[in-house]
Amino acid sequence: MNYKSKIVEELGIVLIGWPRDGKVENSGSLGPNKGLVLRNALEKKECKWVILTSEEQEAQKLQNSQYEQDGEIVYHSISHLV
């Protein structure tokens, strides 16, 4: 699952305060130390889900389209999954 297309664009929610450098990733793939950092951030409400307005959601779609044009894989096709 791709966070930017499946979560942000389709559901209109975004995770703010992700405690790790880089992109949001599946918490199940984090090791114990990194998982503990995430758990602490969630407990302290430093990391949380936020519902986007329709305008913010549309802006994210435009931004994601630009990321895709710049070479980042935002929209997985079947060929990427095989």
d(CA 64, CA 8): 10
d(CA 76, CA 2): 7
Total tally of structural domains belonging to the chain: 1
* Model pTM above 0.75: no
Q: By the 8 A CB rule, do 2 and 33 touch?
A: no
d(CA 26, CA 18): 12
The low-confidence residues of the chain, meaning pLDDT below 70, are 1, 22, 76-82
Residue 81 confidence (pLDDT): 41
Q: Please state, in angstroms and as integers, the Cα–Cα distance from residue 47 to each residue in 19, 25, 34, following that order.
A: 7, 13, 14
**Structural domain that includes position 61:** 3-81
